[in-house]
Amino acid sequence: MDQTLVDNLRSQPRDAALFRNGDSKKEEPKMRTAYVALGSNLGDRVAMIEQACREMDARGIRVKRTSSLWETEPMYVLDQDRFVNGACEVETELEPLPLLDALQDVEKSMGRRKVIDKGPRNIDLDILMYEDETVSHPRLQIPHRLIAEREFVLRPLAELIPHRALDAARPWKLIQDYLNDLPPPAAGSSEPLSTLTPLRASVTPLHALRSTRPTQIMAILNVTPDSFSDGGVHLPPDVQSQTEAREGIKTNGSVLLSSLSPAYVAALQSTIKFFIASGATMIDVGGQSTAPGAPEVSVSEELARVLPAITLIRSMPEAAHVSVSVDTYRAAVAEAAVNAGADIVNDVSAGRLDDDMLPTVARLGCTVCLMHMRGTPATMSSMNEYPDGLIGTIASELRERVDAAEKAGVRRWRIVLDPGMGFAKVGDQNLDILRHMPELRQWPGLEGLPWLLGSSRKSFVGKITGVPKPEDRVFGTAATVAAAVQGGADIVRVHDVLEMAQVVKMADAIFRY
């Protein structure tokens, strides 16, 4: 063929594919970003929303980020249950109408039946925004035409994209502006909207912004020989010598529990019953001490310590309305513990000490507590300098961990924060945390998330009060717990459950009204 003719053919765009030397790769589809509203007011509302997110992922509509979940009163049709609402940022190659079809298919697959317009529904998915496009179609309006009047849509959307224009024709007015323009609640109406953090289906969720919320009591159950305050008290007998023999059944909590002596099991059960009767609403089970200088144990050893305790708690009728937390920074332990009945993963490293932790928590779909710590338990005591300010640094470093968790697929409504008292903080730094809790709770990017505080029996309490033995620091701990409640803590983690439950009850009466 004449070379001039070949060159001429190459120059024609419609025939370009003929001259790729056999390379017939398809052009990658363009991924688009959209924002989808999530809502439910029937059945297990949170479970419905989480299922919808999984269904979207399964259809190639990738859920990249989520807002918090907000519990709201119904609008328009008032004679129905309260809604749980949220929003998510999705990535999709679908155009707006095909995306609408896919979302409606998700609703249909989950049993959605529309009987009354704006009436009860187990799941509701609406496209709020799609890139910067405006769509006007009999089936679809983008941006959604009712965004500007709906607080339960604006609040979650403002968590995701507060500084984005809602209407491309009015680029100066941002989503946060629309939220700020909403009229205040009428006098005597219900209190402002609150975020909702689920723990387990049988337990009332946390409402971090509800002024009358009760403070949760998390009882500490350390099944370790070397925790700083109660090491050895609840350690299974001969657990270390039996670990090797248990290697093949290390994730079977029932088998591990049955291998322990009846006397030990009865004593542990008595302790758990005491915690619950004293006012504990959560029990935190730990099998690896994070005290400075404590040796690191194997995964099998840690499992042999925590799984029997978790299995026992879950077998007790008294604990049906108690959440169980596992205190671990290892993904393998977290997964086995959740499979045994734990509801929360309490990770002192916020996922930094095990790269598999955050993806594992995301896959399990459980709630996670991200604590602020620097270094490791062995090195943290030397990493307590904060030249840019303690509170701002804690907030910014926790914000990084929240971002990492969301990137790994953890839903924002599944995150609890802990400022890490005593972890890379010494002396008065812990007092500063108590003094500035309101500031942490309102820090940009952390608003609406619940907080756990753990000051119980810690060394700064002993230093100030002059009480050397941790178990004798009850009164000093009580003062820190009352301060935590005043500062807005949602959960206090304590050793002395009976005494601290009374402190919390009194502090709630004073500050939560």
Of 259, 199, 111, nearest to 490 by C-alpha is 199
Task: Determine the pLDDT at residue 20.
Answer: 44
Is 469 part of the annotated catalytic residue set?
Answer: no
Distance CA 11, CA 6 (A): 9
- Confidence at residue 17, expressed as pLDDT on a 0 to 100 scale: 40
Walking along the chain (513 residues) 10 residues at a time, the average pLDDT comes out as 48 44 63 97 94 97 98 70 93 97 96 71 94 94 90 96 91 95 76 92 95 97 70 55 48 83 92 98 95 86 95 96 98 98 98 98 98 92 94 98 98 98 96 98 97 97 97 98 98 98 98 95
Q: Is residue 275 within 8 Å of residue 497, measured between CB atoms? A: yes
> Which residues, 6 or more positions from 419, have their beta carbon under 8 angstroms from its beta carbon?
371, 372, 394, 398, 433, 437, 440, 451, 453
In whole angstroms, what is the distance from residue 204 CA to residue 434 CA?
26
Q: Is 414 a catalytic residue?
A: no
What's 372's DSSP letter?
-
> Amino acid identity of 197?
T
User: Considering 173, 458, 463, 473, which one is annotated as catalytic?
Assistant: 458
CA–CA separation, 268 and 134 (whole Å): 62
Q: Strand order of the sheet with strand 323-327?
A: 415-418, 367-371, 344-347, 323-327, 282-286, 216-222, 491-494, 452-453
pLDDT at 292: 78
Burial label, 461 (beta-carbon count in 10 A; 0-12, 13-18, 19+): buried
The full DSSP string for 471-494 is GG-HHHHHHHHHHHHHHT-SEEEE
Q: Is the peptide bond before 143 cis (omega within 30 degrees of 0)?
A: yes
Tell the residue number behind the tokens 């989950």, with chain if given: 110
What was the pLDDT predicted at 157? 96
Q: Which of 327, 323, 252, 256 is nearest to 288 (CA)?
A: 327
CA–CA dist 359, 353 (Å, integer): 13
Q: Which residues of 402-431 are buried (b: 16+ CB within 10 A; e: fewer)?
A: bebbbebbbbbbbbbbbbbbbbbbeeebbb
Nearest to 227 by CA among 453, 420, 456, 427: 456
358, 338, 291, 415 alpha-carbon torsion, rounded to 10°: 50
Q: Active site residue: 246, 493, 505, 512, which one?
A: 493
Separation in Å, CA 464 to CA 211, 245, 384, 497: 31, 46, 19, 22
